[in-house]
Every structure is written in structure tokens, then in C-alpha cells.
Amino acid sequence: MAPARLADLLQYLPKAELHLHLEGSLEPETILELARRPESRTVGTGASAGMSLEEVRARYRFGDFSGFLEAFKWAVGHLRTPADFGLATARLIEQLHRQNVAYAEITVSAGVMLRRRQDPHAFFGGVLEGYRQAKKDFPVEVRWIFDAARQFGVEAAMEVARLAPQYRSEGVVAFGLGGDEEGWPPALFRGVYDYARAQGLRLTAHAGEMAGPESVRDAVELLGAERIGHGIHAVLDPELMEQLARDQITLECCPTSNLATGALAQLRGLAAGEVALSQHPLREFFDRNLWVTISTDDPALFHTNLLREYSLAAEEMGFSPEELVRIAEMSFESAFLPPEEKLPLLETFRKRARELLSE
Ligand SMILES: [Zn+2]
């Protein structure tokens, strides 16, 4: 397929984005806008108010995982009021719509919100209000995942698991776990996941991003995770890959993220500058019939978007248009939606995909 035709296919193909952090979607321009809001100066330090766009962009350049965590924390620091969350959400919905993302599950760092003593009712309320406004012009179907940060501890994670079901009618469908994987292995959070499951929440967990295959196995076997954020280290364990394929555990793959944080370099035992996207395990996962999606993780921090990730999969990993369509289909199939809500989205997707492939 000619490059221009592939670009059209990817643009017009309805897509689902399942691994996307609201706080990692703040474009430098939005950061500046937030920093310059008058109310920011009274609530926060306002330290970024005098920054130039170039200075903000420089904060988004980092060489490793700890640098990434610092940048994420810095970006989150600009979300100081419910209206700030509303603006961030509205900007994200617009970007998703422009890429023809029909369905998104957006992760909200509820753990960080609680730690910053931001009343979830008001602050998540700001997110919902931003979505409600943006949806009028940019219709994207959204569900929310409340995510806890491992390094804040088990009790803090439990608080997030207790909070999430209270917003079920607002579209919060799942509980997730992120943050420092090596210091805080899955086993610690078993009780939290048991509780979340009993509340009817769907379950995902970041695992096998910076830690080894055992972290993925434990997330599945001990926590009952139905999807895994990243999971790239599973490629080191053929038996685990077989298990993931058999149990249809979806790996939410975010190639550029893994390149930018150093996770891919760590997996391949190389220095950060020596590794390339062609070494991302997405290709091997797909060839071994694992369920995979293509996602952006923190698109602004990683200078990417979903269209770009699909293009890179074609250019750097040798995926054919038909294979990319299959991955897009799996992203709808892996959505945390009940069958009666998933089916119409899938039918629309399949019809459009057939048209685009036969054009
Ligand atoms: Zn993530």
C-alpha cells in the first residue's frame, strides 16, 4: 500500500485508545495556559507562569524512567483546580476526535488526586464537566479508569479502589495500578484487587514495563488483571506468552513510551541510544497470537499521538495494513464494556475497516 493510502486508512479507521493517562496528555501549550491562569497563582506556586514555550518543552525532554516520572509529576502540578482538569480533558477529547478515536478509556491518577488532597467529587467533577462540554463538538465515547500509584502504598491504593465504584454511573469502569513496579510488586496489592473485583470493577495493571516477566505473571495470577499495561518483559518467557494468548489477556502496548522511558533498552540489555522501535516485542506478541493494542500512554510527554504510533508500527515493525486493522479491532474487543455496548462499536468498526481496505 502506498504511504499516502496507508496514512488515509489509519486516519479514517475508527480506533479505540485503551492506555492513556489524562495527566500525560497535557501539551506544552496547555501547560502554559494553565500556568498563566490568575487562579493558579493563588492556589499553587505559579512557578511556571513566566516560562516560555521552549522552556516548557525542555521539561518534557528526559533520558530515563526517573526523568519521565519527574516530568509527569511536574506536569500534574499544573492541574490545580477542577476547571484545570476540565480544560485538560477538553483538549484531550478534541485531539482524540481529530484522530478518529471513537472510544477511549482514559486513566485518571486518582491516587495522585487523593494524595494532593484534591476532593475527588470536585476535581473528577471538573474532568466530567470538561468531557461533557467537549463531547458536543468532538464526539468520543469515553470510560474512565481510576489508577493508584504503587509507591504511595497499599492503603492509599485501597482508597482508590473504594473511590472508583462511587463513580460507576459517571463511567468509571476499572481500577488500575501504576508507578514504581520494582519496589512494589503485584503480590502486595492482592487484597486491593480482590476488593475492586468484588465491587464489579474491571482490572488492569502496569506490569512488565520496567520489571521482569514474573511481574506480568503475578499481575495475572495474583491480581486477576484482565489487561496488562505494557507487559513487554513477557517476551522473555515463552511459557508466559502462551498463557497470555490462551487466556486472552490483552497487552496494552505503547512503543514510543517504552523507547522514551528506557524500558525497551532495559528489556534488550542495551544503552538508551542503541535501541530502536524495530526491537519492540509488539511484533513477536502479535505473531504468537497474543492480544495486543497500540496505545500512547502519555502522548504529550512522549511527543506522539495514536496515529503516529500506528504509522510507526507499519514503518518500524513491518505491520501490514490488514494486521494494523486487526490490532485496532482487538482494541475494541479488549474494551472494558459489557457486550451490548461493545457490539455496536465493533460493528461500526468492522464495516468501516472493510470499506477502507477495499478502496
Ligand atoms: Zn501507563
Give me the pLDDT at residue 216, please.
98
Of the chain, the percentage scoring pLDDT greater than 90 comes to 90
- For ligand 1, the distance from its centroid to the CA atom of residue 65, given in whole angstroms, is 12
Clarify whether 209 is annotated catalytic: yes
Give me the pLDDT at residue 215, please.
98
Pairing of strands 202-207, 101-108: unpaired
How far, in Å, are 44, 87, 160, 203, 219 from residue 116 at the CA level? 11, 19, 13, 24, 27
Give me the pLDDT at residue 3, please.
83
- How confident is the model over 101-113, as a mean pLDDT? 97
- Tell me how crowded residue 224 is: count the other CB atoms within 10 A of its CB: 14
Give me the pLDDT at residue 333, please.
98
Give me the pLDDT at residue 36, please.
87
Give me the pLDDT at residue 359, please.
81
Give me the pLDDT at residue 40, please.
61
- How confident is the model over 295-324, as a mean pLDDT? 97
- For ligand 1, the distance from its centroid to the CA atom of residue 206, given in whole angstroms, is 7
Residues 170, 240: Cα–Cα separation, whole Å: 36
Mean pLDDT of the chain: 95
CATH number (2.60.120.10, 3.40.640.10, 3.40.228.10, 3.20.20.140) of 3-358 reads 3.20.20.140
- How confident is the model over 85-105, as a mean pLDDT? 98
Measure the CA angle with vertex 295, ends 184 and 353; round to 5°. Answer: 150
Asked if residue 114 lies in contact with residue 160, where contact means CB atoms within 8 angstroms, the answer is yes
Asked if residue 300 lies in contact with residue 24, where contact means CB atoms within 8 angstroms, the answer is yes
- For ligand 1, the distance from its centroid to the CA atom of residue 304, given in whole angstroms, is 14
Domain ranges of the chain: 3-358
Question: Which amino acid is residue 333, in one-letter code?
Answer: E
Q: Which of 17, 209, 252, 309 is catalytic?
A: 209
Residues 65, 162: Cα–Cα separation, whole Å: 29
- For ligand 1, the distance from its centroid to the CA atom of residue 213, given in whole angstroms, is 17
Question: Which amino acid is residue 266, in one-letter code?
Answer: Q
pLDDT tens, 158-217? Answer: 999 999 999 999 999 999 999 889 899 999 999 999 999 999 999 999 999 999 999 999
- For ligand 1, the distance from its centroid to the CA atom of residue 139, given in whole angstroms, is 24
pLDDT band at 283 (very low <50, low <70, confident <90, very high): very high
Measure the CA angle with vertex 289, ends 245 and 310; round to 5°. Answer: 115
- For ligand 1, the distance from its centroid to the CA atom of residue 170, given in whole angstroms, is 22
- For ligand 1, the distance from its centroid to the CA atom of residue 235, given in whole angstroms, is 18
Q: Is the dihedral of CA 101, 10, 320, 299 positive or negative?
A: negative
- For ligand 1, the distance from its centroid to the CA atom of residue 296, given in whole angstroms, is 8
